[in-house]
Amino acid sequence: MSLANAVQLADLGIAAIQSGDTTFDLSAVRTCDSSALVVLLAWQRTAQATGRSLEVSGVPADMLSLATVYGVSSVLPISAPAG
């Protein structure tokens, strides 16, 4: 998840959320940058706007670190980091 594919991933996730799919497993993500946080925040806003609860699991440790550095870890619905 990076700047190169952030718009595409945001759009795909938003469409999934609007269709009722609100659980995302990020355990296959191998690289990420701060754009990944923008994607997650867009998904969270969409879920809230549609009255749904978003759940994101398998979050890579580097993404968790970025969320902490940027001060958004408490507003993202993330669970256990990828092992």
57 occurs within a structural domain: yes
Q: The tokens of 55 are what?
A: 């759940």
CA dihedral sign, ordered 80, 83, 21, 64: positive
Q: The tokens of 6 are what?
A: 């952030």
Position 81 confidence tier, pLDDT thresholds 50, 70, 90: low
83 occurs within a structural domain: no
77 occurs within a structural domain: no
Instruction: Find tokens 């440790």 and name the residue.
Output: 61
18 occurs within a structural domain: yes
76 occurs within a structural domain: no
User: Which residue segment(s) compose the domain that 28 sits in?
Assistant: 3-70
Q: In the chain, how many domains are there?
A: 1
20-60 pLDDT tens trace: 999 999 999 999 999 999 999 999 999 999 999 999 999 99
